[in-house]
Every structure is written in structure tokens, then in C-alpha cells.
Amino acid sequence: MKEYYKYPRIYVATSLKHNSFIEITGEQYIYIANVMRLKKGHIIRVFNSKGEFLAKIDSEDKKRVTLEVFEQISPEDKNSLDLWLYFPLIKQDRLRFMIEKATELNVTHLVPVITEYTNKANVKFDKLDHYIIDATEQCERLTPPVLHQQITFEDLLKSNNKITVAVEREVTDFISKTQMTNHLFIGCEGGFSEKEKHLLLNNPNFNPISLGETILRAETAAISLLCIYNFGR
């Protein structure tokens, strides 16, 4: 597939199949026509969970381009990985970085969690899907992670899933691969409140671990947990 890497790559939600035509509008049209300055006859890669295809620009106007899908280069995504990241709402630029890296590190479900110290005033929720799609296009995945509606800390406590949670200073045992579950939870800037720590440490569904002696930023903790999980699976 290396010979195809030179072509721009975009995610499309519409159905893809050999010898079909699809229309691209909106921000993706702007990317193709104005950013990449592609014209009729140029080739791009289009993909979703059903596979990846080569497509040629068949026509264009001021609002859309029409692509002719002519060759499948990757099969349907049959990845059975199920990896959840419950993450805090942090500053927008750092949140974007965390979502990008989570996408690159095989997360399949992203769930924002509101904790006591969460400051969500400056979070632009409409941007989060864009971050996910951009990262998916860049890292050669076929299926973007699913972004779920935000939940509260209390909602998460009611979960029946076994959840690995990084709790700073309250836990002395460093993480090991055998401790990992496929549901990972990190706290926000400022960490967990004393009440939240007590509830986490006394809930049998939560597996508290330490990521070391230093205090990590939320995005660093997320990347650390995900790297350990991926290395151990």
C-alpha cells in the first residue's frame, strides 16, 4: 500500500463501494479544493469502517466535488479491540492533543467525565469530533473512535465495568500489565477531590494504580496508560 501514501486521505461517512460516485461538501470540500488545490483527475484516498478506496475527482463546482470511487485498497475494518478512555475536560489545546494521541493509540470509545474540579467553561464541544476525524485520517486508522455524551463522576461510579483509574499520591503500587483493564479513567487538572478519592478507593469496580512519583498532566497520564495497555495486550 506504500505507493498510495502520497495521496491525500479523507474520512467519509457515506457508503463506499467500487465503481460508485460520492459528493464531498462542507469542510472536506474546502480541504480538497482550497487547501490541497486538487482538480479534476486528481486521486485521493477515501475511507471508513467498510474499507479504504482510491477515488478520482470527476467534477467540481464552488460548493462540492464529485468523486469516482474506482479501487479498494484496504478491506473492511474487523478490529475487535474494545478500549475505553474516560477523560477530563481540560484546556482546549491540551484536550485536542489528548484526543489525537488517544486516537493514534487505538482507543475505540471516548467518554468525557465531569468531576468536582472540572472546568468546562472554555471547552468547544463541537470541535471534538473534528479532532477525532483529523487524527483518524493522519494515523491510517479506518474506524474513528466513538465520542460519547459527557457523564458525571457519579454516573461512572454506577458502571458495572472494571475500570483502571490513575490516582496520584493515594496509591503506592506502580502499575503492572496484569492490573490493566480495557476501561481507563484519568482525572482532571487538580486531580480528584478527597470525596472522589474515597469513593474510588472503596469501589470494587475501580482498580486504582500509580503512574509514578511525579504529578502528571491529564494528557500525559492518558498517553502513559494507553501505551502500557497497548504494550501488554
pLDDT above 70 as % of the chain = 93
Residues 127 and 125: their CA atoms lie apart, in Å, by 5
Residues 90 and 222: their CA atoms lie apart, in Å, by 12
Map out the domains of the chain as residue ranges: 2-74, 84-232
Dihedral sign (CA 188, 194, 197, 199): negative
Task: Tell which CATH classification among 3.40.50.300, 3.40.1280.10, 3.50.50.60, 3.40.50.2300 matches the domain 84-232.
Answer: 3.40.1280.10
Residues 189 and 88: their CA atoms lie apart, in Å, by 8
pLDDT in tens, 13-54: 988 988 999 999 998 999 999 898 999 999 999 999 999 999
pLDDT in tens, 166-206: 887 655 555 555 568 999 999 887 788 889 989 988 999 99
> What pLDDT score does 233 carry?
63
**HEC string for the chain:** CHHHCCCCEEECCCCCCCCEEEEECHHHHHHHHHHCCCCCCCEEEEEECCEEEEEEEEEECCCCEEEEEEEEEECCCCCCCCCEEEEECCCHHHHHHHHHHHHHCCCCEEEEEECCCCCCCCCCHHHHHHHHHHHHHHHCCCCCCEECCCEEHHHHHCCCCCEEEECCCCCCCECCHHHCCCEEECCCCCCCCHHHHHHHHCCCCEEEEECCCCCCCHHHHHHHHHHHHHHHC
The residue type of 215 is I
Mean pLDDT over each residue of the chain, to the nearest integer? 89
Residue 151 scores a pLDDT above 80: yes
Residues 2 and 125: their CA atoms lie apart, in Å, by 35
- Top-level class of domain 2-74: mainly beta
